[in-house]
Amino acid sequence: MDVSSSLQYLFSGLTVGATYGLTGLGFTIIFNTTGIINFAQGEFVMLGGMLAVICQSALGLPLPLAVLLAMLGATLIGAIVERVAIRPVRTAPPINLVIITIGISILIRSAMMLLWDKDTHTLPHFSGTDPITVLGATLMPQSLWILGITAVVLYGLRTFFRRSIFGKAMLACAHQRKAAWLVGIGVEGMVLLSFMISALVGAVGGVMLAPMTMTSYDVGILLGLKGFAACILGGLGNPFGAAAGGLAIGVLESFGAGMISSAYKDAFAFIILLLLLFVRPSGLFGKPEVRRV
Amino acid sequence: MLFLRNVDIAYGRIRAVRRASLHVGRGEIVALIGANGAGKTTMMAAISGLMRPAAGTVEFDGADITRARPDAIVRAGISHVPEGRLVFGPMTVEDNLLLGSYCRHRLGRASGVQEDMERLYAMFPRLKERRLQAAGTLSGGEQQMVAIARALMARPRLLLLDEPGMGLAPTVTREIFRHIVELRDAMGLTVLLVEQNARAALRIADRGYVLETGRIILQGPAGELLANNDVQRAYLGRDLDRETQPAGGAA
Ligand SMILES: Nc1ncnc2c1ncn2[C@@H]1O[C@H](COP(=O)(O)OP(=O)(O)OP(=O)(O)O)[C@@H](O)[C@H]1O
Ligand SMILES: [Mg+2]
């Protein structure tokens, strides 16, 4: 295999992997606040892409405005999901809540299909489609957007959770919910905020990826699963792990598809995940749990 | 400053506390004693808003807080050190203390937090040594110090302490009690204290309440309760029956 084609696989792998990573980040944020795995995360990614398509092609809005509205729309839907479906049953055991999130994902998907359509859509690239050639491999400007924005989101979230008292308070809700109430944290508000941030992060991923891969009402299923794989791979609860896990899955998938067979592209992520979990059950960057009672 | 009036508290259909009334005056240390399952923790939870009483009212500083949410109650000036400590295990000691001051933050900032932290480190030097260690990896006694320090970071006017001595060596418990009295004397802190070691609790308390299966059966100045025969028999581990038997036998 020559340099240019491996570089080509690497570029496309990193591009897709960054979106898996963002999806994984979304899982991580909700998990870190509530201990719930939100299986509707993939739908937030879908909403990012599809809402932008609706705003741009159907309403005829300029692209930047369409992108902005799509992100706001997804954030709002994240808030509604928390208020309507999660808060009323918040005292239920986490496993029940997880099943509720599966129901929500089916609902969002069906609503998009019924209210809009079943077709595949595309979104214009953010800054043209003139490829950049690097050592014989081509890189789309959109890939640079994706990698750059992913880096910014990741850095922003890290700063939020490590430095700001609100970020720490959000983590505290998952560590010890009762104590979080007792130091004066409005736990319900924090859970709401975590759903909004996750939806926003997911939508950012979806709206960036749509120009590269097309989008439709049902892209959330696979993206959600891969994002989940990414955050398990990176160690559940670790935002950096989720991003790194996403990139790793994207790259391996791209090489696997190029060198072995593209028919099994989607299987690679899960094969890698299974193999890793046999060796390191806590994920690549996860710490084995330290707890003392 | 704190009044509970005819409070009923239930877990589903189980009524854990019935028609309990209690008051705590400003600057007082009041002990709440009772056997396991008497309802002490439940009463504390109703004061700090973790549970809603089924009936009755809770009043703090003239305001009705019966249905207020826990975060609002913390802002009103009540801090609760919960049974079992409940530190934020994966976080550092320092972050635990910082989060204790959460209710004082407006738009992410608060004044005097650093000074308060230094003051608490001076009170608990062990915590300063371990301030970058994950709180969950501390010893039980150290975690208890974290829980108390975290509660004090909110600058409460009323401190609810639920079994601060649980699982601790008696000397450590005494140390903690000494700090509590100091805080009261220095800052006018008011304390409602639940403690298995009833004798130790009544020694530092001004007044006490005795709770038995959800009802308050006795109350009074701490000295009187310490001298009360029923209290001694039930909670202070004195076997009065055996002590009085020889006298009875001689009669
Ligand atoms: N979550 C719960 N669900 C049902 N019943 C409960 C619950 N928590 C406590 N109880 C019951 O309420 C009663 C009072 O419990 P509580 O924890 O207040 O006792 P306590 O006086 O604090 O005891 P201890 O000294 O053991 O801490 C007990 O009978 C207990 O079984
Ligand atoms: Mg108790």
Cβ–ligand 1 contact at B39 (below 6 Å) = yes
Cβ–ligand 1 contact at B232 (below 6 Å) = no
DSSP-assigned letter for residue A262: G
Neighbours of B102 (CB within 10 A): 24
* B56 belongs to a structural domain: no
* B251 belongs to a structural domain: no
Cβ–ligand 1 contact at B40 (below 6 Å) = yes
* A288 belongs to a structural domain: no
* Nearest CA, atom 26, ligand 1: B36
* B196 belongs to a structural domain: yes
Domain count, chain A: 1
The model's pLDDT over B195-207, given as tens digits with 9 standing for 90+, comes to 888 888 999 999 9
B-chain residue closest to A176, CA distance: B88
Q: Name residue, tokens 């719930």.
A: A36
B11, B86, B194, best to mutate for ligand 1 pocket (most atoms within 8 Å of CB) = B11
Range(s) of the domain holding residue B199: 2-40+86-167+182-233
ipTM: 0.91
Q: Is B50 within 8 Å of A178 when comparing Cβ atoms?
A: yes
pTM tops 0.80, yes or no: yes
- B177, B31 Cβ separation under 8 angstroms: no
pLDDT of residue B245: 57
Per-position pLDDT tens, chain A of length 293: 688 889 999 999 999 999 999 999 999 999 988 888 999 999 999 999 999 999 998 899 999 999 999 999 999 999 999 999 999 988 888 889 999 999 999 999 999 999 998 999 999 999 888 888 888 888 999 999 999 999 999 999 989 999 999 999 999 998 899 999 999 999 999 999 999 999 999 999 999 999 998 899 999 999 999 999 999 888 888 888 899 999 999 999 999 888 887 777 788 878 887 887 788 777 777 665 544 44
- B158, B78 Cβ separation under 8 angstroms: yes
Q: Determine how β-strand B55-60 pairs with β-strand B2-11.
A: antiparallel
Helices (H) and strands (E) in chain B, counts: 11, 10
Cβ–ligand 1 contact at B165 (below 6 Å) = no
The three-class DSSP label of residue B205 is coil
pLDDT of residue B176: 86
Which residue, among A82, A290, A201, A288, has the nearest Cα to B138 in the 3D structure? A290
The model's pLDDT over B211-245, given as tens digits with 9 standing for 90+, comes to 999 999 999 999 999 998 888 887 777 666 666 65
- Identify all chain B residues contacting A165, using CB atoms and an 8 Å cutoff: 98-99, 102, 105, 108
Give the best residue of B47, B79, B88 to mutate against chain A (max A CB count within 10 A).
B88
Which residues have a Cβ under 8 Å from the Cβ of A206 and sit 6 or more positions away? A19, A44, A45, A46, A47, A48, A49, A50, A52, A70, A74, A215, A219, A223
* Nearest CA, atom 16, ligand 1: B39
Contact of B80 with chain A, judged by CB distance below 8 Å, is answered with: yes
The CATH number that applies at residue B190 is: 3.40.50.300
- Listing DSSP states for A180-247 in one string gives HHHTT--HHHHHHHHHHHHHHHHHHHHHHHHHHH-B-TTHHHHHHHHHHHHHHHT-TT-HHHHHHHHH
Q: Is B89 within 8 Å of A291 when comparing Cβ atoms?
A: yes
Q: Is A60 left (phi over 0), alpha (psi -120 to 50) or beta?
A: left
* B69 belongs to a structural domain: no
The model's pLDDT over B56-86, given as tens digits with 9 standing for 90+, comes to 999 999 999 999 999 999 999 999 999 999 9
Neighbours of A278 (CB within 10 A): 8
- A210, A52 Cβ separation under 8 angstroms: yes
DSSP-assigned letter for residue A287: P
A191-230 burial code (b ≥16 CB/10 A, e <16)? bbbbbbbbbbbbbbbbbbbbbbeebbbbbbbebbbbbbbb
* B52 belongs to a structural domain: no
Distance (Å) of CA A177 to CA A92, A180, A182, A183, B153: 14, 5, 9, 10, 18
* A293 belongs to a structural domain: no
- Identify all chain A residues contacting B151, using CB atoms and an 8 Å cutoff: 182-183
The three-class DSSP label of residue A120 is coil
Question: Positive or negative CA dihedral for A164, A170, A174, A176?
Answer: positive
Q: Name residue, tokens 């639920």.
A: B162
pLDDT at B249 over 50: no
Q: Is A185 within 8 Å of B71 when comparing Cβ atoms?
A: yes
- A243, A234 Cβ separation under 8 angstroms: yes
The CATH number that applies at residue A67 is: 1.10.3470
* A50 belongs to a structural domain: yes
pLDDT of residue B250: 43
Structure tokens at A1: 């295999």
Q: Is A184 within 8 Å of B48 when comparing Cβ atoms?
A: no
* A49 belongs to a structural domain: yes
Closest chain B C-alpha to A175 CA, distance in angstroms: 6
Which residue, among B143, B41, B35, B33, has the nearest Cα to B83 in the 3D structure? B41
State in Å: Cα B43 to ligand 1 middle. Answer: 10
* A285 belongs to a structural domain: no
pLDDT of residue B238: 66
Q: Is A184 within 8 Å of B87 when comparing Cβ atoms?
A: no
- Identify all chain A residues contacting B103, using CB atoms and an 8 Å cutoff: 183-184
Average pLDDT, chain B: 90
pLDDT at B143 over 60: yes
The model's pLDDT over B164-197, given as tens digits with 9 standing for 90+, comes to 988 788 888 888 899 889 989 988 999 999 988 8
pLDDT-based confidence at residue B248 (cuts at 50, 70, 90): very low
Instruction: Tell me which residue in A169, A178, A292 faces B86 most closely, judged by beta carbons.
Output: A178
Domain count, chain B: 1
> Looking at the DSSP assignment, which residues form a beta bridge with residue B78?
B158
Range(s) of the domain holding residue A221: 3-279
- Comparing B169 with B154, which gets the higher pLDDT? B154
List residues in chain A touching B: CB distance below 8 A: 164-166, 168-169, 171-172, 175-176, 178-187, 290-292
- Identify all chain A residues contacting B98, using CB atoms and an 8 Å cutoff: 165, 168
Give the best residue of B65, B99, B132 to mutate against chain A (max A CB count within 10 A).
B99
Closest chain B C-alpha to A219 CA, distance in angstroms: 36
Give the best residue of A171, A182, A236 to mutate against chain B (max B CB count within 10 A).
A182
B18, B41, B211, B215, best to mutate for ligand 1 pocket (most atoms within 8 Å of CB) = B41
